[in-house]
Amino acid sequence: MRRFEREQISKKVKFISQTFAALASLGILVIGIQLFTKSVGFDLFNINYSLSKLFENEGNRKTNSYQEPHEKNELPLKYELTDAYNALNLNKAETFLQNPVTLSPIKPLSEKTVIKNDKNDKYNIIIIPSTTGAENIFSTIVETYNYNKLNLNGILPPIRETKLSKWSVGISLAPGVSYRFIKYNNQQINNSFYQTEESRNKSDQALMKYSLSLDVIYRLNSKLSFQSGLVYLNTGESILIKDITNDNNHAPAAAGNIFFEGKPDFESPDNTNENVRFANNQSYLELPFLINYKIKTINNLTNIEFQVGASISKLAVVNAIAYNFENNGYYLISGSNSSLYKKYGSNAILGIVYNKYITNSIQLFANPQIKIGLTNIYNSKYLINEHYYNASVRLGMKINL
């Protein structure tokens, strides 16, 4: 696969990735606005996008819709007073609804109706035409009440008491940015174009990456908790390479080279416009050990925690390009058993956790997090030291057991 084909595939993948990222970001934004504010959703193409429907049971649906009373004196709707600010108005409304006279609309009399009045009354009967049916008298009041109640409480049902347990489990997805710190062990190795620390740091670029997490949390007390679990982390960076134009210009790797063999897959880039980019990808399985300490309680349902810890990582799979200083060529490294990459590593982790209860036992959280590689990802015999670091936001939920 040469440069033109690779560029076409790269453009398609990039377009699809950007489209998916835009749609995912829009969805997360809509969900976040509804969960962390008092917004109640919106309608589009006759479809309601309010998340409040997720927390509405069958009983609530029956309560929120108007029901025709079976008897004249039966109250069709009964509400629970949940907000002190509207308590007085709601009491008045309840008294108004319980009035049997109000529930019996005046029946119209037609002109053909014969009124028999044998007594000499002081008052004449006035015929009032009906303008509405009994089923529509209180519909506006009901709709207004439901709308105000939803705006006061947001899309989530009222939570009277939260469940605080010793153990919690959670899952999360963390989009983020990945880059690396690079250092040459010998500055005199190669001073050609791009093959110096300075040129690499100017030309290499960060990549959008992600991680998936399964969390297990032990709460020591109301402020301090310990967190572990399993994390799948994808990291890497974008580097410059160039297609090989003449196979005769590159000798194969030396027989005693423990990292590379055969002829290179790509040339080292130059100062022409023939250079292309390659996205290095390394995937790791991590075992984190974190300490979470509550630093602020916003209300009974919301708090903020400070997070610090470390993790042990194991290389799962790699698909990357590495430079061979002997023949000025780049080699494609794929799989999980490369001698060039270290099998195990360690990382330092620092973050902030924003927690919010959506039920009495389920919390949503947003966790901005910085992860810095403490160990070199390459074999110590390779002439380059590289440490990756990631900045991400973990978005997920956890359940108190």
| Residue 190: per-residue pLDDT | 53
Torsion on CA atoms 135, 138, 142, 145, rounded to nearest 10: 180
Q: Which of helix, strand or coil describes residue 169?
A: strand
Report strand pairing: 238-242 vs 275-279. Answer: antiparallel
* pLDDT given at position 272: 74
Do the Cβ atoms of 293 and 269 come closer than 8 Å?
A: no
Asked whether the beta carbons of 382 and 359 are under 8 A apart, the reply is no
Confidence label for 361 from pLDDT (cuts 50, 70 and 90): confident
Q: 66 or 123: whose pLDDT is higher?
A: 123
DSSP bridge pairs for 354 = 304, 366
Per-residue pLDDT reduced to its tens digit, 92-134:
666 666 665 444 455 555 555 555 555 555 555 665 555 555 5
**Is 288's pLDDT higher than 80?**
yes
pLDDT at 139 over 60: no
What local confidence, expressed as pLDDT, does residue 383 receive? 86
* Better pLDDT: 371 or 42: 371
- The pLDDT value recorded for residue 269 is 83
Return mean pLDDT, the chain: 76
Tens-place pLDDT, residues 247-287 = 666 788 888 888 998 888 888 887 777 788 899 999 999 99
Positions of CATH 2.40.160.20 in the chain: 162-400
The b/e string for 162-171 (b: 16+ C-beta within 10 A; e otherwise) is eeeeeebebe
Q: Mean pLDDT across the stretch 318-340? A: 88
Classify 93 as helix, strand or coil: helix
More confident position, 215 or 271? 215
What fold characterizes domain 162-400? Porin (2.40.160)
